[in-house]
């Protein structure tokens, strides 16, 4: 007899199971790659300079639009100024509505006399 002889396996055959579509071959969980942010976080000094520039009249309005819609701008600064412009538009709209209401109240007071 040869040493390579194997005895027959008397176990029942295992039914075929579909592989999990979310698992990589070999039974390892899928790898998650964390990429480094393409833009560095803005430092305290950069934010201080940004706020200093926002104090200057006319320049602040121009820079808000440049930073909100410019191409080569840090994403955190970009979204901050987009939100700031939205709040400014809401404030202007609210001021117009309240101004019109006050003018109409004053006009109705003068029409009584």
Going by C-alpha positions, the residue among 13, 32, 11 that lies closest to residue 22 is 32
- Pair of tokens at residue 10: 């008397």
Q: Are 49 and 32 in contact (CB under 8 A)?
A: no
> What's this model's pTM, rounded to 2 decimal places?
0.62
* pLDDT (tens digit per residue) in 50-105: 999 999 999 999 999 999 999 899 999 999 999 999 999 999 999 999 999 999 99
Q: Please give the Cα distance from 3 to 5 (Å, whole number).
A: 6
Task: Return the structure tokens found at 73.
Answer: 């701008």
């Amino acid at each position: 007899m040869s040493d390579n002889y194997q005895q027959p396996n008397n176990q029942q055959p295992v039914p075929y199971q579909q592989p999990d579509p979310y698992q990589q071959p070999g039974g390892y969980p899928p790898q998650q790659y964390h990429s480094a942010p393409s833009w560095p976080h803005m430092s305290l000094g950069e934010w201080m300079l940004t706020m200093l520039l926002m104090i200057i009249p006319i320049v602040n309005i121009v820079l808000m639009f440049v930073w909100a819609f410019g191409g080569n701008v840090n994403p955190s600064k970009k979204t901050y100024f987009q939100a700031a412009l939205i709040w400014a538009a809401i404030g202007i709209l609210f001021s117009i509505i309240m101004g019109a209401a006050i003018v109409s109240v004053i006009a109705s007071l003068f029409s009584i006399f």
